[in-house]
Amino acid sequence: MGENILEILKGFLLDIFFPKFCLGCKKEGEYLCQDCKELLEILRVHREYKTKYLSDLYFPLTYKNRLARKLILSLKYEPFLKDLAEVLAFLILDHLKLIEKENEFSEFVLIPVPLERKRLKWRGFNQTEEIGKRLANFLKVQMLNNVLFKIKETPPQVELSEEERKENTKGCFFVKNGFLIKDKKILLLDDVYTTGATVEEAAKVLKIAGGKEVIGIVLARAEPGEDKTQ
């Protein structure tokens, strides 16, 4: 009870001294106002998508949408708006509701794509894990952040070609505590899906470790070249 009161007080003080402004229209109050949310054009349809290791892929946004890019980049890069994780998790949930899939994953566990230590130290948090905490709560599934680890430091994928991305991610993930995913269905969460190299490599090691099925879920789908930060 005491912790909840402290969190409420903390949020109240932050709103006073560091007010939030909509990243779309600059209106004070929240990072994404309802009017600007409409501009995101959350997808209302789902097209089945399969790869060698993924059974399907879900995403609410396309990366060509300028506001969608701004929201994602504002969480991943300075000023690191950590509270955006909840906003972005709600966008995924809105998409699942629109396609009537929000109750399809009760038998799944959720695993966020991890960061290597250097990048985690630089940002101070794993943006995908922060989104995952909220999404797991909404979907009423367990999030496992002690299974998939990134063991190789790699250059950011956005700077690489499609072939370079595939080579860049080879052998970069490791599964620990594999018994936790033995014969489990897995929701593998990442922020942006472009060539799929990162998600595919992660899905591969999860399947090898005993995962029964892996479904990808990301904030946005990008075409090659669209995910450049500049």
Q: What pLDDT digit, counting tens, does each position of 124-151 carry?
A: 999 999 999 999 999 999 999 999 999 9
In the structure, what pLDDT confidence band is assigned to residue 160 with cuts at 50, 70 and 90? confident
- Cα 13 to its chain centre, rounded Å, is 28
- State which H helix or E strand residue 186 sits in: strand 185-189
Whole-number Å distance between alpha carbons of 63 and 195:
13
* β partners of residue 87: none
- The stretch 171-182 carries a mean pLDDT of 96
Residue 177's CB is within 10 A of a number of other CB atoms, namely: 12
Report pLDDT digits (tens) over 31-49: 999 999 999 999 999 999 9
- State which H helix or E strand residue 135 sits in: helix 127-139
Q: What is the pLDDT of residue 226?
A: 77
Judge contact between 223 and 194, C-beta under 8 A. Answer: yes
Whether the CA torsion 84, 175, 213, 57 is positive or negative: it is positive
* Nearest of 127, 111, 126 to residue 177 by alpha carbon: 111
Q: What is the pLDDT of residue 9?
A: 54
Mean pLDDT of the chain: 91
Secondary structure class of 192 (helix, strand, coil): strand
b/e string for 33-46 if b means 16 or more Cβ within 10 A?
Answer: beebbeebebbeeb
Q: Can you list the domains of the chain with their CATH numbers?
A: 1-39 (no CATH), 40-221 (3.40.50.2020)
Report pLDDT digits (tens) over 64-81: 999 999 999 999 998 899
